Amino acid sequence: MMNDKESTVRRLTPLECERLQGFPDGWTDIGDWIDSNGKRHKAADSPRYKALGNSIALPYWKVLARRIAAQYDRDITMGSLFDGIGGFPLAFQHCGATPVWSSEIEEFCIAVTKKRFGDDEE
């Protein structure tokens, strides 16, 4: 007979979720962050889980980005609308493209993208 401890399913950590989706370790681990209204937020796993759950799996997009980039005889740049945590710029960056902008409406996702790709507005 199974006891409760043996039947409990362990939740994946944010790091494991990042790895499963092909993101670098710690991609969404940005520590304390400040939203666009100047409100400070403590580091927490909940926004990381939400952002990763709404993101893309990078391996497929890296292959597709490489195929798209191969069609051009010049260096390519890319912009991304409602990008989330920077998955599309990261995938295209792996094939030599230069991300020039991204847009998002979720505050945590904006903070991740600014940390990983910089913030030209500051």
Confidence of residue 101 (pLDDT cuts 50, 70, 90): confident
pLDDT beyond 80 at 1: no
Average pLDDT for 41-55: 95
- Asked if residues 89 and 78 have their Cβ atoms less than 8 Å apart, the reply is yes
44-53, 58-67, 82-91, range with the lowest pLDDT: 82-91
pLDDT number for residue 28: 97
- The model's confidence at residue 122, banded by pLDDT at 50, 70 and 90, is very low
Kindly report, residue by residue over 84-95, the tens digit of the pLDDT. Answer: 899 999 999 988
CA atoms within 13 A on the CB side of 70: 6
Percent of the chain with pLDDT over 90: 57
Tokens for 72?
């051009």
**Cβ neighbourhood burial of 20 (10 Å; 0-12, 13-18, 19+):** exposed
